[in-house]
Amino acid sequence: MDPQTVAPLAQLQTTNPEIQSALIAASVAIALALVSLLAQVILWFCDKRAQRRHELMEHRRNALLSALQVIDHVYANTSFGGQPPLNLHAWSIALARDAMNGIIIFAKDPDRLLASFSAAVGLHNPAVGPAPAFNPGALAAFRAIVCEELDLRAPNYTNQNMIWIASLPGGI
């Protein structure tokens, strides 16, 4: 480096405190800008992660509510206690497939949920054996697992005789 160039710079740094304070202020401003940029990037990533968690929970919730609808359809078409079905009707089996697929894909513990769902509706492989008995108590167990899966408190409802709405006046 040329000594004539270095000498004036050294003189300016040692003789002019205003330049030194300006350089310090500029350095601090640059450092704060970088910290601010880094904080914005970190917050953006955190926001995206929270958004993905929210979307996952929404898919999980929809799958579990669909499974509860399937159980309602099955129970409405099933005889309990020697009584005929209360609301015999056809429903699309695609609803059950969609619910099961949603549980498999989005649930934290799909094996546990599907075992409970299967118990609640008497789901079985006819080639292996007869349908297991199922009752509203299995629905209560499924609801409790659904609450756990959705990070909700367990249902505080224990009346086994009123687990699901059997009929309402005017309901079809």
51-64 pLDDT, tens digit per residue, is: 999 999 999 999 99
Query: Quick one: pLDDT at residue 171?
Result: 60
2-31 pLDDT, tens digit per residue, is: 656 555 555 555 557 788 888 888 999 999
Q: What percent of the chain lies above the pLDDT cut of 90?
A: 51
Residue 158, pLDDT above cutoff 50: yes
* Amino acid identity at 135: N
Query: Quick one: pLDDT at residue 145?
Result: 95
Residue range of the domain that includes 7: 3-162
Query: Quick one: pLDDT at residue 163?
Result: 47
Q: According to the per-residue pLDDT averaged within each range, which of 15-19, 81-85, 138-142 is highest?
A: 138-142
Q: Taking the model in full, what pTM does it have?
A: 0.72
Number of residues in the chain: 172
Angstrom distance (rounded) from CA 11 to CA 134: 92
Look at residue 170 and tell me if it is in a domain.
no
**Of 57, 54, 67, the residue nearest 139 (C-alpha):** 67
At 78, list the tokens: 């099933």
Query: Quick one: pLDDT at residue 160?
Result: 60
* Amino acid identity at 72: D
Look at residue 25 and tell me if it is in a domain.
yes
When the pLDDT of each residue in the chain is averaged and rounded to a whole number, the result is: 84
Query: Quick one: pLDDT at residue 112?
Result: 96
Tell me how many domains the chain contains. Answer: 1
Look at residue 167 and tell me if it is in a domain.
no
Look at residue 172 and tell me if it is in a domain.
no
Look at residue 168 and tell me if it is in a domain.
no
Torsion, CA 75, CA 78, CA 82, CA 84, rounded to 10: 110
